[in-house]
Amino acid sequence: MAHDLNQLQALVTNPSESLSVELKGWLNPKTAQHEAKIAKALLALRNQNGGTLILGIDGNTLSVDATNPKPADVRLTYHADEIQMIVSRYASDIFPVEVHFIEHQGETYPVICVPAGVKTIVAAKQSLLDGGKLLVKEHQVYVRTLNSNGTVSTSEARHDDWEGILEICMDNREADVARFLRRYFGDRDVKSALQALGTSLEDRLFKLQQGSFQRFNAIVNHAEQQIPTNAGWWDVAAIIEGKVPERRCNSEFRNLIIRNNPRYTGWPLWVDGQGIKYARGQESPVDNFWECALVKPPVEGMGNLAIRNIDFWRISPIGEMYVLRFLEDDLLPVERGVPPLTVLDFAIVTWRTTEALLVPLAFAKAMGCDPDACSINYRFSWARLKDRGLTCWSDMRRAMYFGKAGQESIHTLVKVPLSVAPAAIAPYVHQVVVPLFELFGGTEIKLSVITSIVDEMLKRR
């Protein structure tokens, strides 16, 4: 999803509302009333086949909002992760959003972009109440609509809105695709072709990633388990492409995964939570996934040894896997001399990326997938990067300092054949991390450097 920044600048410079553009004053997403306004606006824009929500501009005066208090930190308040969490919380069909910050006459305006391409009507999947007042209604469909006086607004769908909503969805689905395929393929393989035109793997990866992150937040108690509020994290969703032998999500499957979890690092991904007192959610499968959240509590008086781990993983027998880990850079004891939120260690990123690629390959083979006929698609994400410096505090041989990151988050995609040997994984690691490292002043870390780090990690095993 990419948007023309010149076009967004024009929307802020000359603001006006339309079916695809909504203006709102300064909203506080932490309050129920304002969270509801953001949620309904984004759901309505999605059902309109995409659009933009501009905050900080009064929809009546078309100028900067002087009524509601402006947040002290606009970029933090409307961070993309915060807005995406609202979408994940209320959208029946989760979709990605982008947040851009547009400068105009000394003000910074958040512009939230909702992508086009809706194929399924998006409804609110849960209600939001505030003091007995229903702000968001579960199962309700919200749309952008014209009132009788000609003004545009977000509202609950009425009988005369449905034709337009359905037409948008049908256009995007290309409803006549079956007849088109028969025209060119006859009856030879229409069924397979239709299946191939279903939900794309990229969409599935995004939904797996967002749904899993939401699941982590449902399992853990952030305040009780003392999870740092501003710490960064990375996560990855992985989906096997190809035939996956049928299995049940039972204890036999869980034991198969635990037994075949290779140990590439001291604290491996997909750690077995059985017997760990601070583990959450590992007792029974949920929604056809085995899962486990491991939030190690802070330990006082242990100096350099008091390194925390905050992890979460999920795996399903249909070939879907996910892992989340908070950045070690933000969880170090003060004795290490690395202040939280200041750096990203490129060697640790390389280690974790290598492990995150190799472990799902091992799981897929253990599940009986054919190495010559299957591959795994991955979607990596890193969050809360802005103003960090790229360095390497974990290995003084590589203790270089590169530029600072200019944006908060990034995601990258890669497809790895199941037949790849661990010793040949470095080029795929390089493909994943190159766009991430380039955020830091355009830093280029060559394949030879990545290969040396990967080789060192594999030799430690």
pLDDT at residue 25 is higher than 70: yes
pLDDT at residue 142 is higher than 80: yes
- C-alpha torsion sign, points 277, 280, 286, 288: negative
Q: What is the pLDDT of residue 332?
A: 86
pLDDT at residue 257 is higher than 90: yes
Q: Which domain holds residue 168?
A: 163-196
Q: Give the separation between CA 285 and CA 41, rounded to whole angstroms.
A: 35
Q: Give the separation between CA 265 and CA 274, rounded to whole angstroms.
A: 19
Cβ neighbours of residue 358 under 8 Å, at least 6 residues apart? 262, 264, 422, 425
Compute the average pLDDT of residues 153-178.
74
Same domain, 129 and 269: no
User: Please, which pLDDT band fits residue 175 given cuts at 50, 70 and 90?
Assistant: very low
Same domain, 320 and 455: yes
Instruction: Extract long-range pairs of 257-260: CB within 8 Å, 24+ residues apart.
Output: 257/290, 257/315, 257/363, 257/366, 259/366, 260/362, 260/363, 260/365, 260/366
Same domain, 225 and 302: yes
Whole-structure pTM value: 0.66
Q: What is the pLDDT of residue 451?
A: 95
Q: What is the pLDDT of residue 86?
A: 96
Q: Give the separation between CA 299 and CA 13, rounded to whole angstroms.
A: 51
Q: What is the pLDDT of residue 421?
A: 92
pLDDT at residue 231 is higher than 60: yes
The 10s digit of each residue's pLDDT in 427-461 is 999 999 999 999 999 999 999 999 999 999 898 76
User: Please, which pLDDT band fits residue 178 given cuts at 50, 70 and 90?
Assistant: very low
pLDDT at residue 256 is higher than 90: yes
Q: Which of 21-30, 86-95, 160-169 has the lowest mean pLDDT?
A: 160-169
Cβ neighbours of residue 40 under 8 Å, at least 6 residues apart? 124, 136, 142, 154
User: Please, which pLDDT band fits residue 185 given cuts at 50, 70 and 90?
Assistant: low
C-alpha closest to that of 268 among 297, 292, 251:
292
Same domain, 36 and 153: yes
The 10s digit of each residue's pLDDT in 260-309 is 999 888 788 998 888 888 899 888 999 999 999 999 887 765 444 456 88
pLDDT at residue 57 is higher than 90: yes
The 10s digit of each residue's pLDDT in 306-327 is 568 899 999 999 999 999 999 9
Higher pLDDT, 3 or 4: 4
Cα 143 versus chain centre, distance = 25
Same domain, 397 and 270: yes
Same domain, 109 and 19: yes
User: Please, which pLDDT band fits residue 176 given cuts at 50, 70 and 90?
Assistant: very low
Q: What is the pLDDT of residue 149?
A: 57
Compute the average pLDDT of residues 247-267.
91
Same domain, 132 and 191: no
Q: Give the separation between CA 243 and CA 241, rounded to whole angstroms.
A: 7
Q: Which of 99-103, 120-124, 341-345, 401-405 has the lowest mean pLDDT?
A: 401-405
Same domain, 299 and 352: yes
Question: pLDDT averaged over the chain?
Answer: 88
Same domain, 152 and 235: no
Cβ neighbours of residue 331 under 8 Å, at least 6 residues apart? 228, 231, 307, 308, 309, 310, 340
Higher pLDDT, 146 or 391: 391
Same domain, 100 and 188: no
CATH number at residue 58: 3.30.950.30
Same domain, 136 and 208: no
Cα 101 versus chain centre, distance = 20
List, as one string, the DSSP characters of 11-67. HHHS---BTTEEEE----TTSHHHHHHHHHHHHHHHHTT-EEEEESB-TTT-SB--S
Same domain, 100 and 180: no
User: Please, which pLDDT band fits residue 150 given cuts at 50, 70 and 90?
Assistant: low
The 10s digit of each residue's pLDDT in 383-425 is 999 999 999 998 888 877 789 999 999 999 999 999 999 999 9
Domain tally, the chain:
3
pLDDT at residue 184 is higher than 70: no
Q: In Å, what is the CA distance from 308 to each residue of 267, 341, 342?
A: 11, 15, 17
Q: What is the pLDDT of residue 191?
A: 46
